Structures are given as C-alpha cells and as structure tokens.
Amino acid sequence: MRARALAALALTAAATLGAAPATPDDGAILHALGRLTFGPRPGDVERVRALGLAAWLERQLAPERVGDVAVDRTLGDLTTLAMSIPELLREYPRPDPAMREKMQGGQMTRRELMERYPPEKRPARIAGELAAAKMLRAVASERQLQEVMVDFWFNHFNVYAQKNDVRWYVSAYERDAIRPHALGKFPDLVRATARHPAMLYYLDNWVSARADFTIPLGPNRGKKAGLNENYARELMELHTLGVDGGYTQQDIVEVARAFTGWSIERPQTEGRFVFRRATHDTGAKVVLGQRIPAGGGQEDGERVIEILVRHPSTARFIATKLARRFVADTPPPRLVERVAAAYQATGGDIPGMLRVIVAAPEFWGPKARRAKIKKPFEFVASAVRAVGATVDAQGAYALARASAEIGEPLYEAQPPTGYQDVAEAWVNTGALLARMNFALALTSGRYPRVAMDLPGLVAGADPARPEAVLDRLLAALVHGQAGQDTRAVLAAQLADPQITQLTADDRGPARTDVARLAALVLGSPEFQRR
Amino acid sequence: MQRRTFVKAGACALVALAGPPRFLVRAAAGAERQGKVLVAVFQRGAVDGLSMVIPHGDPGYTGVRPSIGLKTPKRGESDRALDLDGFFAVHPALAPLLPLWQSRALAVVHACGSPDTTRSHFDAQDYMEAGTPGVKSTPDGWLARAVQARPKKPSPFRAVALGPQLPRVLQGEAGAISLTTLDRFDVRAADDAGATRRGFESLYAEGVRDLLHGTGRETFEAVKMLRSAGAARVPPANGAEYPRSPFGESLRQIAQLVRAGVGLEVAFADMQGWDTHVGQGAEQGQLATKLREFGAALAAFARDLGDRMADVVLLTMSEFGRTVAENGSRGTDHGHATAMLVLGGGVRGGKVYGRWPGLSRQQLFEGRDLAVTTDFRTLFAEVAGTHLGVTAAPLFPGFTPPAPLGLFA
C-alpha cells in the first residue's frame, strides 16, 4: 500500500516536472534534447517549445502512442530484423567446413565459394542489419527516448554479437528481451534476459549443470559436466546488485546451482529456452541469506531473480547507472538516493525513475549542462540529426561503421560490462581525430546514402557575407551554444581562401564553403558534449 | 608438501646451442639509460596461467583437468607441453617464444597476482591498471605515473596506447595518446588537409583546460611529429612476421614507433578473449588459438626490433588466473594467481621466478585457485624501477616492495 502511495506521489511530481523551468528557454530545451534524445534536429527546439516540456516528455515515455511510419518503412528493407531464431538459423547457415576445405585444397575457387556462399546469405548479415537498424532509429525515429533506453539497457545486459551462436540470437534478443521492456519495469528486463538464448549462450549458463552430471547421449556421451559460474556472477555484479552489492563467492555458487538446467533447446536449429530437469541441481540453496528449499526446479532461478530485483543494492545500482547516463559521470549522491527510492516504491518502474531524474534540480543545474561527452554512437547520430540528413538502410550501414571507427563498434562490446559511460573512456587522441574525420566525411558528401541540404541550413544568409553564414550555421548546429573562443576561431577561418572563395575579379567574397565550416563545427569541442 | 622456490639455472641443454642474441650482450655491457622503452601487454579476460606456463612437475596438476590438461613434455615431441626447466613447461602454441627462453631473454613470473581477492574482471583490471588493489578512487594509472616520474621530455609520444580507447593504466597527467593505425593518424580532408588541420587545431588550442581541449592539443602535436618522423612507413625488419590481428598490428606499430625514434618511453597494447569458461581446449582449441596469436606476436616483436630490444622490456599481465580444476563445461572459472612474462634487454631470462605455492588442495587459495605468492606490484615495481629508473613510491602508493625477484642483471 505504502509503495503504491509513493508511486502515485512520484507521478504527481512528474506532471509538474519539478525543478524544470516553467517557461524553458532554448538552453533548457536543448539540454533536455541532448539528454533524452540523440540530439536536436532542425526544428526540434521549436516543436518541444510548442508542445511544452512536460507534455513532450510524457509523449516520449509512452512510445507506443508515437507514430513512426517513415522509420518503419525503411526498416522493412532490413529483412532479418523480424525473423525468428529458427528462421535465421535456416536462412543464414553457418559455413560448411567441407566447402572451406575444398577451397583450401584447391578443388574450389574463391569465386565458386562466393557464389555458393554469398555474403548476403552469411550469418554476419544479422548483426550487420541490427547495427544499421540501431543507427537508423537513433537518427530518424520519433521515439527517441525509447531508442536511448534500448541502447542503455542492451549495454547494461550486454551480449557480444560475435560469440558463436549469439550471431543468430542477437537480433531476437534486442527485439524480444530488451525493447519491449526498455520503458517498462526493470525486473522484467532481468526475467527476459535471463531466459533468452543470447544471454544463456553468452554467459555460458546453457552448459551449466549440477556437479558431476554425466552427459547421457550425443557426441559427449559419458563425459562429466558441472557448474559454470559465469552467468551467476555477472547477474549479480553487472545486472542487479553491483560489484559492491554485498554478495560472496558462496552466493555465486548458490545462484549458479539455482540456474542449472536453464538452457537452450537445439541451439543450432531451434534456439529457444528450455529447462532441463536432468541437469538441474535439486538441492536446497541459500542466496544472500535467504533459503530456497530443495526441489524447486525451474522456479529456483525465478526465486533468485525475485530476491535480486527486490534488493536495495539493485535499486541503488540501477539508480546510479541511470543518473550517470542522464546527469553526470559522477552522479550526485542525493539524486541517486531519490531515484533508488523511486525504484523501491514502484517495483523498478523505469518511467517512474526517469521522471524523478528529469524533475531533479541536479538534472537542470549549471553543473549538469553539457557535462556529458557523447559516446561515438551518440556523436555520429547527433551529427547526422544536427544537419537534418535523411538516411536509408545502406546509409545507416555506413554510419554504423563510422561509430566503429570512432571506437564503438555496435553490438561488439566483448566483455559483459558493455561500453563505459564516462568521458575518460571516449576522449583520446585517436578517437578525437576520428570524430573530426567523420565530420569532414559527412559534410563533404562522402556518405552518398546520407542525404542533406547544407545550403538549406544557412538559407537566408547572404553568401557574400561569410560572417552571416557562420552565425546562421552556428545557430543551426549548436543553437548558440558555441563558446566565444570557438566563434572567434571559426571567424578567423573565414579568411582562408579555401573557405571563403572570392569572386573572379577578387572584389569580394562570392561563396562560403559551408561544408568545411560545418565540419569544423561538428568537430569542435562543443559538439562533443551533450 | 614443501614449498619450493623455482630458481633453476642451466636446466635447459639447448641454451648452449642457441647463444645469446646481440642485444643481450649490449644490455649486459651497460647500455645507457637513454631511450629505454617499457611495453606493457594486458591479456584481458583473465588468462589461464596454468595452461600458459604449465607446472607439470607438481603432482597436483595430474587429474584436475581431465579434458583440458596439457600432456606432459616428452623430448622431441612438439604437440604437448614444451619443457622449460623440468618442472614448468609452456603451451605448445607458444613454441615461437622458446628460442627467447633459451637465449635467456624471456623470464616467467608464476603465481603472480593481486592481494585483492575480487574475481570481477572489471574491478581486477581496474586495480591492476590503477596500481592500487582494493582502492577504486585512484585517479590515474600506474604507467602514467611512471612516465610522470621520469625527466620531462618534449615528445608527445612518451606514452602511447594502441587501441580505440585510452586504457585506465595510462589515464592521468602523462599526456598519453592512443591510436589504432599510425597511417590513418591525421586529418583526412579531400583537399587542402593542411588548412583543415589548422582549423581543427585552433578550435582546441584555446579555451578551458579540460580533458577535451587537453586531448585535442596533444592530438595535433602528435599528428605533426608523426608526419615528420614518418613512423608509419617503417617496415618490419629481420623478416619478422606479425599475426594479422588487432594484437599483431598493435605490436607491429609499437615497434615502428620505437624504431622511428619519436621519444617513446611507455607503450601499451591489449588482447581480448581469454575468458575461457567453456571448451577451453588443451593442445589445440580455443585457448591454443589465442596463445598461438599471442606468442607469434611477441616473437615477431623481438625479432623485428633486433638489437634495439636491448633497450626494450615487454611485460605481460592479466587481471587474475583461473580455477585450478576444470569446470563442468570443459573450461575454467575465475581464479586468483596467474603467470606473467618479462621479455627483453637486461632481463635474466630462462628462469621461472616466484615462490611456487603448490597445487594440493590445502595449498590452494580458498580451496580452488592458485595462490598469489608474488604481488603484481612487486613485479611491476622491479621492472619500472630497473628499466625506467623510477622508484616504487609514486607508482604504487602505500606499497613497500619486498626483496626484488632479481629479474634484471
């Protein structure tokens, strides 16, 4: 009862958006767009102002009520996205080892191999299309907050798309285990990921069995199997309690025992969850001091999840990560406390926690403004959005590769920690150069399937007045958030004959190289922040 | 069982045949302190030290790994563990490193690890890179502090990490740079790249002193120096062939930087994929494939640098080791101590250092893992102290190294 009352309180607080300015200026709207979307497109600030910040946020928190026809149409070109795991296993078979041997033995040419096993029929296509879809949605979806949260939760429950059978499971994992709950209840994410073949495979639980289990049939008949701790450890360390959440090595063993039998049915043809009674450890378990009686079967794992998602350490850990994503690399402790309280009061309701964050003075305070460095994926998507470009499926493929070049290959974080969400992980010499080079490539048209109208961004400014062009561009791309130094440096660039081209008789500026100027803005320090 | 120390000399008959490479002679002759380079290599994911350097002489090794244990060495047979000193052996996939062992350029420190008992990859890597086990608030990495402790030099290339991110170990005030490919380390504009480069450069030249601007300034210094040194055009020497993999590429490019004379003092590279919970394999298989790449890259690096290795030490590390017993999936779970390698000039190689804790159940840490007998800081402090001439105090705050292992002549 008390929990429900508190939840209601949280919701009321949300409607007024707490500490948010009552009549937000452009800076406040830009701040909200920088944190809750992949960056403003031309016209977004005006649209949010017209709708009102609170109403806009509530719309974003209910993505099912936001139409997204254009994106859905383009996603239709990425045919693997909607396919089931058995279909993917059938349509994108693993390479036939006999064929590879034939080629190595010289009985088959490389060309024949390519004909028999063309790239578009290879399993790599599945993760490739998923990466393109992720980029496309980040750039173009109207359901921006949902896409931000899908990225956030996938990273939280990370799986590595290149680990063997995960290649066939990864798109279904995001679609069926992450996306439906991205703005739902946190415990549902734990439940859905725990039994998804992608997670079962990635963290090896599918092969974990009670100690001294003897494999009764198949190629490994007669061999011993036993406990594998991988999932049990990461479930507590990374998914729920956090590394300092108060569990011991013995808890890890007990949780691993509870999850024995949670496995994958025919991983290479069906790939669905199965509970294998024969490999399950039927004994009693004690997890974080709570006894799980013997004979629980599949329910043992479900009991463990319930213990973990109700634990105060989980509330604090999830609150910390959300506050780090939306507020600052070092999250304000008082805010973390309030978000954790919202978790406890609402049973881990994600919109409830997000409302607490957006209503917080810590979210709006001067220390939070532009305090976050965009990670590479965010940077690429925000640059494409800022110039108002449109992207087709092929263009999205190319942009996903750009994210990889800047240091964030999509779906390819190998360790279970996923990608880090702090500046130090992303700001370094090589990555900074890669960002500048991406800005150059983007604005100079080296991404042919990413269409933009750069002159349109500065429409109305007299091309013979380079300073006017610059100001219009700064307004369009960084909405007046460029520092004095940046403005001065860019103004000095206007003297460069490459940027300001003179008329034939040298009597004055004829044309300003908007593309090069735009690249400098997108590669500037200001644009790396959100 | 008696605890025993493995400090054996001359156990390997092949040593006499191989003869020391010239760089060792030069190192022994007391090459000057100038131009010393330390290359740190991180095996991320916790390498199974017991399969990398196999304690085949320990009776406790027999039987605990029915499907992933290595066959004990036999003279003349290359598809099983390769003997080092009668007690330890290396994995057969590391065969390219044997000549370096035999010429005493390569040493092993076994049962090495952290005094902290975490089995979390993330925390253990963080502790090892910060150099402060158990303390998360350390703002910088120990290699960054090592560079800062040395006399100031104008080069932007004093500390370099190969890879898309600057690792924790080099974060801090050392101005370390990171890059993936030397020949793409520049502003790439279609025309007049110089003007565009100057444009970006001036954007980062002014303004607040924050991480972003500071990194920007370092970037352009490095770009300019690299262009004039032409490091990207230095081909591998002495017929060295690196594996075509990100790790092989990292070591190849570190060698380029060493030979281009850009003022490199500390370099860092890492290799992922050591977290072998399932189907680890024995002489062949998952771990063997990883070790083959690892060993080939290290051997190519030593060969490529040739005489220049006299000034270079390569040190490998991993966040922890793996369970002594094989788990239920023919793999290994997170353990405690592991083995680390030290290769290069001045190293008294051909020897396994560290007190061997033993593999019988009562000797294991928490009844399951190889115990740590050498704190990783002891090893790191000795390498940094001897090779780079810096004291342990700023590198490993609060830590007083015990007697050195005696790794260096």
pLDDT tier at B27, thresholds 50, 70, 90:
very low
Closest by CA to B185, choosing from A451, A155, A410, A433, is: A433
Query: Which among A415, A417, A483 has CB closest to B207?
Result: A483
Q: Give the Å distances, CA to CA, from A49 to A35, A45, A113, B196, B408.
A: 16, 6, 57, 36, 69
Mean confidence (pLDDT) of chain B? 90
- Is there a contact between A523 and B200 if contact means CB atoms under 8 Å apart? yes
- Is there a contact between B190 and A490 if contact means CB atoms under 8 Å apart? no
3-state secondary structure of B385: helix
- Is there a contact between A489 and B199 if contact means CB atoms under 8 Å apart? yes
- Is there a contact between A424 and B211 if contact means CB atoms under 8 Å apart? yes
Looking at 3.40.50, 1.10.150, 3.40.720, 3.30.2310, the CATH number of the domain B4-183+244-395 comes to 3.40.720
Residues in chain A closer than 8 A to B191 (CB atoms) = 498
Residues B251 and B298: their CA atoms lie apart, in Å, by 8
Distance between terminal CA atoms of chain B? 32
Residues B90 and B106: their CA atoms lie apart, in Å, by 12
Six-digit token pair at B235? Answer: 């081909």
Q: Are A59 and A48 in contact (CB under 8 A)?
A: no
Instruction: State the CB neighbour count (10 A cutoff) for residue A81.
Output: 17
Residues A227 and B255: their CA atoms lie apart, in Å, by 43
Residues in chain B closer than 8 A to A415 (CB atoms) = 44-45, 121-122, 272, 275
Q: Are B399 and B381 in contact (CB under 8 A)?
A: yes
Tell me what pLDDT residue B10 has. Answer: 33
Buried b (16+ CB within 10 A) or exposed e, A369-389: bbbbbbbbbbbbbbbbbbbbb
pLDDT tens-place string over residues B165-190: 899 999 998 989 999 999 889 998 87
Distance between terminal CA atoms of chain A? 39
Residues A253 and A227: their CA atoms lie apart, in Å, by 8
Among A467-476, A513-522, B207-216, B286-295, name the most confident range. Answer: B286-295
Q: CA torsion angle for B366, B371, B377, B381 (degrees, to 10)?
A: 170
pLDDT tier at B28, thresholds 50, 70, 90:
very low
φ/ψ of B174, rounded to 5, equals -85, -5
Which of B42, B67, B166, B201 should one mutate to test binding to chain A, selecting the residue with the greatest count of A CBs within 10 A? Answer: B166
Closest by CA to B314, choosing from B283, B271, B343, is: B343
Distance from CA of B100 to the nearest CA of A (A): 32
Say if strands B266-271 and B159-162 run parallel, antiparallel, or are unpaired. Answer: parallel
Residues A375 and A390: their CA atoms lie apart, in Å, by 21
Residues in chain B closer than 8 A to A417 (CB atoms) = 121-122
Query: Which among A209, A428, A516 has CB closest to B165?
Result: A428
pLDDT tier at A11, thresholds 50, 70, 90:
very low
Mean pLDDT of B26-30: 43
Residues B383 and A268: their CA atoms lie apart, in Å, by 49
In-domain check, residue A274: no
Whether the pLDDT of residue B65 is over 70: the answer is yes
pLDDT tens-place string over residues B138-154: 889 999 999 999 999 98
Higher-pLDDT residue of A6, B226: B226
Residues in chain A closer than 8 A to B134 (CB atoms) = none
With pLDDT > 90 as the criterion, what percentage of chain A qualifies? 76
Alpha helices in A278-365 (DSSP H): 299-309, 312-326, 333-346, 350-358, 361-364
* Longest Cα separation, chain B: 72
pLDDT tier at B33, thresholds 50, 70, 90:
very low
**Chain A nearest-CA residue for B136:** A244
Q: Which domain holds residue A8?
A: 2-61+330-364
Residues B312 and B36: their CA atoms lie apart, in Å, by 6
Residues 6+ apart with CB under 8 A from A220: none
Six-digit token pair at A280? Answer: 């399950």
Closest by CA to A450, choosing from A403, A515, A385, is: A385
Residues in chain A closer than 8 A to B166 (CB atoms) = 424, 427-429
Residues in chain B closer than 8 A to A528 (CB atoms) = 212
Whether the pLDDT of residue B269 is over 50: the answer is yes
HEC letters along A418-477: CCCCCHHHHCCHHHHHHHHHHHHHHHCCCCCCEECCHHHHCCCCCCCCHHHHHHHHHHHH
Query: Which among B122, B179, B206 has CB closest to A417?
Result: B122
pLDDT tier at B160, thresholds 50, 70, 90:
very high
Instruction: State the CB neighbour count (10 A cutoff) for residue B19.
Output: 11
Tell me what pLDDT residue A110 has. Answer: 77
φ/ψ of A448, rounded to 5, equals -60, -25
- E strand or H helix at A374: none
Residues B109 and B340: their CA atoms lie apart, in Å, by 5
pLDDT tier at B32, thresholds 50, 70, 90:
very low
Tell me what pLDDT residue A201 has. Answer: 96
Q: Enumerate the β-bridge partners of residue B268.
A: B40, B161
Say if strands B351-353 and B106-113 run parallel, antiparallel, or are unpaired. Answer: parallel
Rg (CA), chain B: 21
Residues A432 and B309: their CA atoms lie apart, in Å, by 32
Q: Enumerate the β-bridge partners of residue B353.
A: B109
Residues A158 and A202: their CA atoms lie apart, in Å, by 9
pLDDT tier at B111, thresholds 50, 70, 90:
very high
Q: Are A478 and A521 in contact (CB under 8 A)?
A: yes
Whether the pLDDT of residue A94 is over 60: the answer is yes
Question: What's the structural domain count of chain A?
Answer: 2
Question: Is residue A407 less than 8 Å (CB to CB) from chain B?
Answer: yes
Which of B211, B278, B336 should one mutate to test binding to chain A, selecting the residue with the greatest count of A CBs within 10 A? Answer: B278
Count H helices, E strands: chain A?
A: 28, 10
Nearest 5°: the CA angle B221, B223, B228 is 100
* Domain residue spans of chain B: 4-183+244-395
Instruction: State the CB neighbour count (10 A cutoff) for residue A244.
Output: 14
What sign does the CA torsion over B383, B385, B390, B391 have? Answer: positive
Residues within 8 A of B (CB atoms), A 221-240 only: 223-230, 233, 237-238
Whether the pLDDT of residue A310 is over 60: the answer is yes
In-domain check, residue A167: no
Nearest 5°: the CA angle A495, A498, A502 is 70
Q: Give the Å distances, CA to CA, from A305 to A195, A204, A262, A299, A308.
A: 11, 17, 13, 10, 5
Q: Enumerate the β-bridge partners of residue B342.
A: B107, B315
Tell me what pLDDT residue A496 has. Answer: 79
Higher-pLDDT residue of A234, B12: A234
**Chain A nearest-CA residue for B139:** A424
Residues in chain A closer than 8 A to B213 (CB atoms) = 525
Tell me what pLDDT residue B14 has. Answer: 35
In-domain check, residue A27: yes
Higher-pLDDT residue of B48, B2: B48
Q: Quick one: how far is CA B169 from the chain centroid?
A: 12
Residues A267 and A269: their CA atoms lie apart, in Å, by 6
